[in-house]
Amino acid sequence: MPATTSRLEGQVALITGASRGIGRAIALAFAREHAALVLLARSADGLNQTAQQCRQEGSPAVLAIPADVTDEAQVESAFAATARNFGRLDVLVNNAGAFDGGPLDELSSEAWDRVLAVNLRGPFLCTRAALRMMKAARRGRIINIGSISAQRVRPCSAAYSASKHGLWGLTQVTALEGRSYGVTCCCLHPGNVQVERRDTDLPEDQEPMIRPEELAEVAVLMAAQPPHVQFLEAIVMPRDQLYVGRG
């Protein structure tokens, strides 16, 4: 039988929020497909653990950069390091995220600003930097990790839901502006995912869950599409999770 070609072999992917949860799962899934990786997260310890696991899973090269995606200078430095080390960027995964809940009339402006900074300012800064590289190369794919909260909101999620609605808008503008340069942009909307921050004492966390690894397989599918294929949007959630009429 002929040897199977890895779906992301020869590609360079930058993944934010890669120290845990969905970001780590996507990094490991990309590593198994032999992508070279640039991993960003604020936690150096978690980031280094992910990097080591990615090397063991088959990534030919891993660059781990502790960075805060809300900091413009740190983002620009990370993308400059990507260019120096690899000379290209094929895939950007905007995964870093934050959540802070509570009734809207009790939500602090500090909590609002923090969630919007991580979930929307961060993807903007990373997308801007990636587009500069991708447009020059006339190729590339950007994957934004959204949420079904961009389409079906819940109470006590004003900052998070607003940020994910904004990310879906950013996705569409990026897809439109990148189209004539060979750059695609898509949004992967997870439902309930069993990540580290989940507190099993919360009622909503008794709902059906999927594993980060299951979501990561869809991220690989999005990244591995032929250059002429636009995979604009995907919703991945537990079969039994309420979606239509949720709240």
The catalytically annotated residue of 30, 160, 161, 174 is 160
Cβ neighbors of 125 (< 8 A, separation 6 or more) are 69, 70, 72, 75
Q: How far apart are CA 196 and CA 181, in angstroms?
A: 38
Three-class SS state of 104? helix
Q: How many C-beta atoms surround the C-beta of residue 134 within 10 A? A: 25
pLDDT greater than 50 at residue 247: no
Alpha-helical runs (H) found in the chain: 21-32, 44-57, 72-86, 109-116, 122-137, 158-178, 212-223
Q: How far apart are CA 27 and CA 239, in angstroms?
A: 25
Domains of the chain, start order:
12-236 (3.40.50.720)
Is residue 160 annotated as a catalytic residue, yes or no? yes
pLDDT of residue 1: 40
For residues 52, 57, 58, 61, the Cα torsion angle rounded to the nearest 10 degrees is -20
Give mean pLDDT, residues 217-226: 97
Give mean pLDDT, residues 138-154: 95
Taking CA atoms, 240 is separated from 143, 206, 236, 237, 246, in Å, by 26, 12, 12, 8, 12
pLDDT of residue 219: 98
pLDDT tens, residue by residue, 201-218: 455 557 889 999 999 999
Q: What is the overall mean pLDDT for the chain? A: 93
Q: Dihedral of CA 24/14/129/228: which sign?
A: negative
pLDDT tens, residue by residue, 109-128: 999 999 999 999 999 999 99
Taking CA atoms, 188 is separated from 68, 82, 107, 168, 227, in Å, by 22, 24, 27, 9, 18
pLDDT tens, residue by residue, 42-93: 999 999 999 999 999 999 999 999 999 999 999 999 999 999 999 999 999 9
